[in-house]
Amino acid sequence: MISLLQLKYFCTLAKNLNLTRTAEQLYVSQSTLSASISRLEKEVGVPLFDRKGGRIFLNENGKVYLEHIETALSEIELAAELAKKEAQSREKEIRIAASHSRIWLDMSVQFMREHPDVRLAFKTENLATYYQRLMDGRLDFVITGAGDLDSPDLDSREIAVWPVCLRVPPGHPYVERFPEGIHLNEIGNEPYIDIAEGVSFRMYCDRILEAAGVRVNRVYECESAARPDLIRSGQGVCIAVDHFTTGRFFYDCPRIPILDPGTDRHVLVFWKRGRRFTSTMELFLEYLQSYLRRNEEESHSGS
């Protein structure tokens, strides 16, 4: 089989027509160069050089071969450059999925504003797809709750611990009845607005409700974005993460802290174990953590 190195040797010799000078230029011995050219001619099936009086000349076969080989080598070099450019563009791309993309909307917008050279692809997917997407490289990071992606194939880092609260309609009697907070078993038969099954936060809420021995009066199962409007209109109550972002979604919906121990929502970022971090992945992870710290500090100072 003809090698790329043989073709490079041939092209250089075809231009120099001098074994000594070509061998020196290629940093090989004359015997190595001669053997390479002989093997190439054997592979091609015809002589490419004529030898006369200790000199070599490119014959007509060689001239035709050189013309096409130079074109092929140019295409190979172009392909390599295009591959490098593609790799560089991928270095500037981050592909993320999150269990509650609306929470991370402001963060992603601010990140892209501060780093306009980075392409941030933010995906909203079902929890069941996260593992495989991380393993096959279609996702760089997944942001979701502790316990959602337990696998020895993944690494993770905790980035936040958020308490949860009960969100109720404006003027709801629970606001006066439980000014300091409420236990899950005190929700009683209140109409409960839930997230659709299969969503990470729904699974988390199911776990803490089951642990408290509570069976809610579920009247709605909907997308998380629809819950604030349903609660504002008096349709029921819901459990929600209690932090700076969800407070904006649930404006006019009073929050009542949940007092049960062990109900804090631990948020982690996951990635495939052993994968090489690009500089852009490092940049994003650092930005994500600083964003959370900054907003938590602002939230506490404003409360």
Q: Please, is 184 exposed, middle or buried when counting C-beta atoms within 10 Å of its C-beta (0-12, 13-18, 19+)?
A: buried
Q: What domain count does the chain have?
A: 3
Cα dihedral sign, 111-113-119-120: positive
- Give me the CATH number covering residue 144: 3.40.190
Query: Is residue 265 within 8 Å of residue 258, measured between CB atoms?
Result: no
Share of the chain above pLDDT 70, in %: 93
The rounded distance, in Å, linking the Cα atoms of 168 and 7 is 76
Task: Give the residue-averaged pLDDT of 74-95.
Answer: 72
Task: Report the distance separating Cα 231 and Cα 101, nearest Å.
Answer: 20
Amino acid, single-letter form, for residue 247: G
What is the rounded CA–CA span in Å between residue 301 and residue 110?
Answer: 21
The encoded tokens of residue 184 equal 């899950």
Q: Quick one: average pLDDT of 48-55?
A: 87
Question: Coil, helix or strand for 29?
Answer: coil
Please tell me which residue, 98 or 91, carries the higher pLDDT value: 98
For residues 208 and 255, state if they share a domain.
yes
Verify that 214 and 128 share a domain, yes or no: no
Same domain flag for 184 and 239: yes
Question: For residue 282, what are its two tokens?
Answer: 């490092």
Q: Is the pLDDT of residue 88 over 60?
A: no
Whether residues 66 and 192 share a domain: the answer is: no
For residue 57, give the CATH number of its domain. Answer: 1.10.10.10
Domain-ending residue, one of 42, 73, 90? 90
Q: What is the CATH number of the domain that holds 180?
A: 3.40.190.10
Mean pLDDT of 135-153: 91
Helices within 125-250 (DSSP H only): 127-135, 174-177, 200-211, 227-232, 244-249
* pLDDT over threshold 90, residue 147: no
Q: Are residues 146 and 277 in the same domain?
A: yes
Percentage with pLDDT > 90 across the chain: 52
pLDDT tens-digit series, residues 185-195? 999 789 999 99
User: pLDDT tens digits, residue range 29-43?
Assistant: 999 999 999 999 999
Tens of pLDDT, residue by residue over 193-239, are 999 888 888 989 999 999 999 999 999 999 888 999 999 999 999 99
According to DSSP H, which parts of 92-171 are helical?
105-114, 127-135
Place of tokens 């802290």: 257
For residue 168, the enclosing domain spans: 164-263
Q: Note the pLDDT tens digit of each residue in 5-25.
A: 898 998 999 999 999 999 999
- pLDDT (0 to 100) of residue 90: 55
| Domain co-membership, 139 together with 115 | yes
CB 163 within 8 A of CB 242: yes
Residue 133: HSE in the Cβ half-sphere, 13 Å Cα cutoff: 20
The span from the CA of 228 to the CA of 237, in Å, is 9
Beta bridge partners of 221: 194
CB 195 within 8 A of CB 206: no
Token readout for 122 is 């933010």
Q: Mark whether 228 and 139 lie in a shared domain.
A: no
Mean pLDDT of 76-93: 68
204 and 131 in a common domain: no
* pTM beyond 0.75: no
Residue 50 in tokens: 């004529």
Question: Based on the domain organization, do 56 and 9 belong to the same domain?
Answer: yes
Please indicate, yes or no, whether residues 250 and 295 belong to a single structural domain of this protein: no
Same-domain pairing of 134 and 277: yes
Q: Given 90, 113, 143, which residue is the final one in a domain?
A: 90
As a three-state string, the secondary structure of 131-147 is HHHHHCCCCCEEEEECC
Residues 195 and 212 in one domain: yes
276 pLDDT higher than 90: no
